[in-house]
Chain A
Amino acid sequence: MEIINQPNAVGKRFYPISFKGKGSEYFGIAIVNLLLTIITLGLYYPWSKARQLQYLYGTTEFNDSRFEFHGTGAEMFKGFIKAILIITVLYGLTFLFIFMRMPIIGILVMYLGLFAIIPLAIHGSYKYRMSRTSWRGIRFGYRGDRNELFKIFIKGVLLTIVTIGIYGAWFSMNLRNYILGKIKFGNAQFTYNGDGGKFFWMNVKGYLLTIVTLGIYAFWWQKDIFNYYIDNLKLSHDDKNIEFKSTATGGDFFGLLIVNFLILIFTLGIGYPWIVARSLRFIFSKIQITGDIDFNNLIQSEENYTDATGDDMSDMLDIGFVV
């Protein structure tokens, strides 16, 4: 531990990051929350989500301090209700048109509605989640512009359809570059520098080799994607930076995913919390952070944002969180 945090010859230092949660502890939390969710016919779900996130953040340690999740069940419950209302209105409109014997318009409304909701949900979700995340009391923040994200999304979806999916790689990188580039950690700024072309060819290679090797290469493909996500991430503070690097190998992913699969099968799904814990432990143990930022100089700069509608909407539409 002595070596860590000591500047080396070029003034760079290592910043330790690790997940200290235990599958057994997380299992207890998940089970108790699941029970309460069932007893309350699902109403407890937002509180349950808050508790679980609180545990997962609280057991993730960066540079000797834990992350903090400040979101509350009440906030998420309000968001949950709003999200349900929005989706109900959308369904209502669709059925109204179908009832009025205009089923094509109805279905169109449904698709266009969902199409429009997704970027708004992503936007809201990041705003909420980042604002509720802190480290040493310093909040994260998402400063993206809703309309800007909306434009990227619409353009991406249309071009992806027109190019029969090929543009998907560029779309995915554009989203990542934009969203991650708008994330603040106090007065430090994240940037992501993904390239659609590189990402595209990486996936073509992964796809073809996976077929040729009857699926075995899938683990290495997974590693390539993971490494691409991590390696192009940067955090800057004034003129200082830290860089992220993944040390994961295809073999590591092979071990992780095979064991996860076995746990899931042999525990009939009850082992899910262990899968979450060991996956997070794996991910953080494979991320190497180096640079010259002095985190003691980090200053609070981001506002509180307590509207969880977008976050709950993402949850309902099952949009994965990019970070």
Chain B
Amino acid sequence: MDAVFYNGVSARPIDAQVSLLDEKQQLLIEVDGETPILIAFSDIAITHSENGLIVLSFGKNPNRVIEVRDESFRSHYLKINHSGKKGITYFKLLNAGWKVHVLLALLIIGFCFGTYFYFIPYIAESAVSILPRSFDKKVGDMAFEQSITEEEIDSVATLTMNEYLKKMMPDEYKNYHLNVVKSDELNAFALPNGEIVIYSKMLRHIKTDDELSGLLSHEISHVTNRHSMRLLCKSLSGYLLLSVMMNDVNGLMTIILDNAHNLQQLSFSRTYEEEADISGLKLLEKYKINPKGMIDLFEILQKEHSVNIPGFLSTHPVTSDRITYIKKHIKNHPFSFTPHPELMQLLTKAKTQMSN
């Protein structure tokens, strides 16, 4: 087979004859007037290979090159060369055709998306556990300062409501503080520092103490489960990943603090809501409060929602699905409850104080 040989000393092309010794796994190069060169396939590097051209090189010094412009030689060489077996998977993949390549590309893109949208947020969410509880308080204080101003708070009703909280759950009340805020928005939320905010409109919609207890137990459960913190971490996962990898807890805290004002805009996922509902029910069980209040509350809210009132519902999506599973949970975990007239009294008191 005709070939062009470069002897590694000069760039002058030398006409040569090459033949493949299949059995011996060797290449024979013959040049007129010179001793033939016999070289093992395993010592030859394929410098370039494309349809109709193969460039082989061997030897470090001098580095000799042989160029063969013949497709049958190329395919034959690639077929019989066993020393290339190491890279067999590589070449199989390489020659698998564009369909396989496009598929691989899609796979890689999918992998990247998966990492970005699921894996990294998951890691970031888990990172919450390395943050101390005292940090929740810091974030909550900051968010509270930024979202609530003094004049908005109905201080008289607020006092009564904290009385309510104390009576409702004497063990836990110390960690929480209720605020009644004058607003036409139908909303209530809890911050990681234990500050619970109820808008006056929400309080007006609540008819019984069981409903209010249901709402409070739910909000408190968001705090105990660190939902806001987890959500913040999740939504800031891009930045957080780096600080977690470097075990830089301070950096992590700074980023979260910078974003504390976003706390109210975040809406919880269904998983979080369900978790808060179930933990809330456990709290109700502890203090023998009728769990039906929680359902009633959601039903009221759902009705209101059909008249299109944003607020609580945009951050706490109420679905009939949710009411169904609460009912189911109550049915599977029945517990005894008693009426709480003292709580009802306080609720009525707060409501009259508000209307003044």
Please report A residues at the B interface, Cβ cutoff 8 Å.
20, 24-25, 27-29, 31-32, 34-36, 38, 54-55, 57-59, 65-66, 68-70, 134-139, 186, 268, 270, 295-300, 304
Contacts and interface: CB of A to CB of B under 8 A. Distances in A.
B104 A297 contact: no
B93 interface: yes
B61 A35 contact: no
Candidate in B11, B60, B62 with the most chain A CB atoms within 10 angstroms: B11
B288 to A, nearest CB: 55
Nearest to A25: B50
28 contacts: A27-B105, A31-B101, A31-B105, A31-B108, A32-B90, A32-B101, A35-B107, A35-B108, A36-B90, A38-B108, A59-B48, A66-B47, A68-B65, A70-B63, A134-B63, A137-B7, A137-B11, A137-B64, A137-B65, A138-B11, A270-B109, A296-B12, A296-B13, A299-B9, A299-B11, A300-B8, A300-B62, A304-B60
Interface class of chain B by DSSP:
mixed
Lowest 4 A-B CB distances belong to which pairs?
A58-B48, A298-B11, A137-B6, A137-B65
B105 A135 contact: no
Candidate in B45, B50, B67 with the most chain A CB atoms within 10 angstroms: B50
Contact of B108 (A34, A68, A70): A34
Interface in B32-62: 45, 47-50, 53, 55, 57, 60-62
B265 to A, nearest CB: 29
A65 B14 CA distance: 13
B94 interface: yes
B111 interface: yes
Candidate in A55, A137, A186, A270 with the most chain B CB atoms within 10 angstroms: A137
B12 A297 contact: yes
Given A25-B50, A68-B47, A68-B57, 4 more contacts: A55-B48, A58-B50, A270-B105, A297-B11
A248 to B, nearest CB: 27
Contacts of B6: 136-138
A38 B64 CA distance: 35
A259 to B, nearest CB: 20
A257 B96 CA distance: 31
B308 interface: no
A296 B9 CA distance: 11
A300 B9 contact: yes
A173 B105 CA distance: 41
A73 B33 CA distance: 38
A71 B65 CA distance: 15
Nearest to A32: B93
A24 B98 contact: yes
Candidate in A32, A35, A65, A135 with the most chain B CB atoms within 10 angstroms: A32
B62 A59 contact: no
B10 interface: yes
Contacts of A186: 11
Contacts of B105: 27, 31, 270
Nearest to B53: A66
A304 B62 CA distance: 10
B203 to A, nearest CB: 50
Given A29-B94, A137-B64, A270-B109, A296 B11 contact: yes
A25 B48 CA distance: 13
Nearest to A36: B90
Contact of A28 (B8, B13, B53, B94): B94
Nearest to B104: A31
A238 to B, nearest CB: 14
A70 B7 CA distance: 16
Nearest to B7: A137
A297 B101 contact: no
B55 A296 contact: no
Candidate in A27, A29, A69, A136 with the most chain B CB atoms within 10 angstroms: A136
